[in-house]
């Protein structure tokens, strides 16, 4: 199935005309002094509700940065480059400026620490042809690999995806509707857990290109999931990083998709 057809059949595409601009979120972005977009798709009721701040930007594709670790992990598992969450990958001894990366890794630590070198290893092992095949198979963004296998999802990479595309992918992962083993999809969902309460689970993945910050994922309730995808400009670089989760958490509390802050 082509990427275009997958997008056309996606639940998000079907409700795109029903997006509602959330009046309060412009003030939320102003409060955090951030420029960007936030798309939230609430599937807890019989009717899907979709809220957005800056709909045009929500449909604009950007480099996914480390949010690509979510599908990339599926590629690695399917290709047999990673066996399971217990397999250890030896650090090569090269210091890359992030102390948490300077150690052996497994899938769980690599997802939590966003360990770029391990996913560059996966890219080399998977190879350009299969990376492109996987991207086209799931209709992920523009499915472009370009000429730099170790950086195609990083700045300045060729791969690009919109907030809308991120949620389309996450919705299929949530439903185990991607063309991968269900066990692998369940594992990746487990690796994404950020926080949980008695009746909800927050799964997400951050990303940062240097110029753009992402946070994508969903909150899982017994009544259904609430998906979110945010990207913001980061002109102040590291100083802007905390704004990603701060904005999303405030917005999710606003629509009662997260409990009130303690």
Question: Which residue numbers are catalytic?
Answer: 66
Task: Dump the DSSP string for 215-249.
Answer: EEEEEEETTEEEEEEEEEE-TTGGGGTTHHHHHHH
Which residue, chain included where needed, has tokens 């996966």? Answer: 122
Alpha carbon distance 86, 25 (integer Å): 41
CB 193 within 8 A of CB 199: no
Q: What is the 3-state secondary structure (H, E, C) of 72-139?
A: HHHHHHHHCCCCCCCCCECCCCCCCCCHHHCCCECHHHHHHHCCHHHHHHHHHHHCHHHHHHHHHHHC
Alpha carbon distance 226, 218 (integer Å): 5
Q: What are phi and psi of 173, to 5 degrees?
A: -65, -45
Q: What are phi and psi of 131, to 5 degrees?
A: -60, -45
Q: Three-class SS of residue 2?
A: coil
Beta bridge partners of 40: 51, 228
CB 63 within 8 A of CB 159: yes
């Amino acid at each position: 199935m082509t990427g275009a057809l997958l997008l056309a059949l996606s639940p998000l595409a079907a409700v795109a005309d029903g997006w509602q601009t959330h009046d309060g979120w412009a003030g939320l972005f102003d409060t955090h002094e951030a420029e960007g977009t936030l798309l939230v798709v609430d599937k807890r009721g019989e009717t899907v509700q979709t809220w957005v701040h800056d709909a045009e930007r929500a449909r604009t594709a950007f480099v996914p940065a480390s949010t690509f670790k979510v599908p990339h992990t599926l590629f690695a598992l399917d290709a047999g480059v990673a066996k399971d969450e217990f397999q250890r990958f030896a650090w090569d001894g090269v210091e890359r400026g992030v102390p948490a990366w300077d150690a052996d890794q497994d899938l769980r630590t690599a997802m939590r620490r966003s360990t770029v070198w391990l996913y560059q290893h996966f890219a080399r092992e998977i190879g350009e042809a299969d990376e492109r095949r996987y991207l086209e198979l799931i209709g992920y963004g523009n499915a472009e690999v370009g000429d730099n296998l170790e950086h195609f999802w990083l700045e300045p990479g060729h791969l690009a995806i919109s907030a809308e595309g991120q949620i389309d992918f996450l919705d299929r992962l949530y439903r185990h509707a991607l063309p991968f083993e269900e066990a692998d999809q369940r594992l990746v969902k487990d690796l994404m857990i950020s926080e949980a309460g008695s009746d909800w689970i927050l799964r997400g993945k951050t990303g940062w290109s240097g110029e753009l910050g992402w946070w994508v994922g969903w909150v899982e309730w017994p009544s259904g999931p609430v998906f979110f995808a945010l990207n913001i400009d980061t002109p102040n670089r590291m100083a802007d990083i905390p704004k990603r989760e701060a904005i999303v958490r405030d917005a999710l509390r606003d629509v009662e998709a997260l409990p009130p802050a303690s």
